[in-house]
Amino acid sequence: MEQKIEVQKAPPKSVKTHKPGPSHKKVDSPTGKIYVRESHGKIENVRRFTGFALMALFVIIPWLTWNGEQAVLLDIMNQRFRIFGVTLWPQDLTLLAWIFMISAFALFLVTTLYGRVWCGFTCPQTTWTFIYMWFERQIEGTRHQRMKLDQRPMDFDKFWRKTAKHTAWLIIALFTSITFVGYFTDMRTLMVDFWVFKSSAWAIGCVLFFTFATYGNAGWMREIMCTHICPYARFQSAMFDKDTFIVAYDAKRGEPRGPRKRKAALDPNELGHCIDCKLCVQVCPTGIDIREGLQYECINCGACVDACNDVMDKMNYPRDLISFTTEHQLEGKRTKIFRFKSVGYGLALIALTAMLVVNIAYRVPLEFDVIRDRNSLYRENQEGFIENVYTLRVINKSQQPQRYTFSVEGPGIENIQWVGSQHLSLESEQSGILPISLAIDPYYLDSPLVEITFTIQAEGEERLKRTVKSNFIYQ
């Protein structure tokens, strides 16, 4: 008996979907080196302008002067920070604490709203890395030319290009290092003394250390600093939510991806808008494929956005297949800028800034201490008066010379005698001591211990006034 075989219908032609492949850096080079392609576009222009402006500030600030002195000088050796018209001493560390807290909360707020834009547009590591890559392109050529150059055996052309590139890198690193050290010592003196080998061992050592650190970080380590060393990449996810603007790929619109001719008709059932050109991968400085989703290596530089938009323009497709967007926008929902987290960071930032302003407004650039002589509590002079010895310690924290006048007050000591000078002159940012003694007729002393108040007043400066309490001891 014959058995009838049922005819089975063939399944419909399935659409090919993309499967994650190996990292492009492994495909390009066995050593894992990333060859970054140059990108062009509006975002790249913003990043270059921002980097140039910050670089210019970094270079110019140490050369600025204020009242005849270097405007910004973080003099660690003498324990004073001069920032334009304000000089901070160890006693003013609370102001530095406010500044650090404000910077931290500003970073938290920006990260909550716009992701890692600090990393992509303003981080020194990113700025210097892109500067180094620019010199690399000018000397060694485009991405493909650099890949071929590295695969070639050493010859004269390869030797001089490599030598020129590393020489340029070292010159930039040395220039950067001298400028950075100029924030901590007199810039004009350093610029002259360093080249004639008259600088201190401390200055020379710091210049050489930061030279090789810059050369190594921006020239060799590059993305390793962002992916393995910088802690910001590790805890940034705690500040992200679905309303945070990130660089993201619209998978609904782009998938399934695949190559096609420029003028070919697009069948939405066959292919998405992504032509799988991998330009977004090639321009990424950290070597990731943004189409695989958000990754901690992404620094939000937007290079992939410009590259993808350029391809979309050539294909006559809508832009922003890769864009700065939020997860809610990709899901068709509305993005909320004002939410609990962002409002909380914003209010904290406003409060901290207000506290810093109040501290600076009420800060008196004068430090005054009174130290009693510990060798003897009191003594009796030739006139039979009881005498106490004090040391007045004064720090002129302003940037102008001052002349100070001292006085003392207290209950029942109207007949006090001040033995020593009642005036002290100090240059700007200078400290001084004044030994004095107070003598009182014991007839006017009703108690063996009297609380007294020392007052210091700058002549011609009503605001520069401080008082310190001390004791006058008898018996």
Give pLDDT, residue 73: 93
Beta bridge partners of 471: 451
Q: Which amino acid is at 300?
A: N
Our separate counts of H helices and E strands in the chain read: 16, 16
End-to-end CA distance of the chain: 134
Give pLDDT, residue 235: 80
Query: 282 to each of 48, 119, 168, 364, 365, how far by Cα in Å?
Result: 19, 19, 24, 56, 55
Q: Which residues contact 287 (CB under 8 A, 6 or more apart)?
A: 23, 24, 25, 34, 223, 281, 297
Structure tokens at 344: 């909380």
Answer whether 103's CB lies under 8 Å from 349's CB.
Answer: no
Q: Which residues contact 260 (CB under 8 A, 6 or more apart)?
A: 266, 271, 275
Dist CA 326 CA 247 (whole Å): 8
The number of residues in the chain equals 475
Give pLDDT, residue 408: 92
Within 13 A of 8's CA, how many CA atoms are on the CB side? 4
Dist CA 184 CA 362 (whole Å): 27
Give pLDDT, residue 268: 67
Which segments within 105-201 are labelled E, that is strand? none
Structure tokens at 87: 């000089």
According to the CATH classification, is domain 366-473 in 2.60.40.10?
yes
Which segments within 36-149 are labelled E, that is strand? 65-66, 69-70, 72-75, 80-83, 86-88
Dist CA 108 CA 270 (whole Å): 43
Give pLDDT, residue 5: 45
Tokens 């063996």 belong to which residue?
A: 448
Give pLDDT, residue 20: 46
* Domain ranges (residues) in the chain: 39-88+123-239, 366-473
Give pLDDT, residue 466: 93
Give pLDDT, residue 406: 95
Residue 451 DSSP symbol? E
Total-model pTM: 0.82
Dist CA 400 CA 420 (whole Å): 25
Question: pLDDT tens digits for the chain (475 residues)?
Answer: 444 445 444 444 444 445 444 444 444 444 578 999 999 999 999 999 999 999 999 999 999 998 888 999 999 888 889 888 888 888 888 888 899 999 999 999 999 999 989 999 999 999 999 999 999 999 999 999 999 999 999 999 999 999 999 999 999 999 999 999 999 999 999 999 999 989 999 999 999 999 999 999 999 999 898 888 888 877 877 888 899 999 999 999 999 988 888 877 777 678 889 999 999 999 999 999 999 988 888 999 999 999 999 999 999 999 999 999 999 999 989 999 999 999 999 999 999 999 999 988 888 889 999 999 888 888 888 888 889 999 999 999 888 899 999 999 887 666 788 999 999 999 988 999 999 999 988 888 888 888 899 999 999 888 899 999 999 888 7
Dist CA 274 CA 361 (whole Å): 57
Query: 44 to each of 194, 229, 283, 304, how far by Cα in Å?
Result: 37, 25, 11, 10
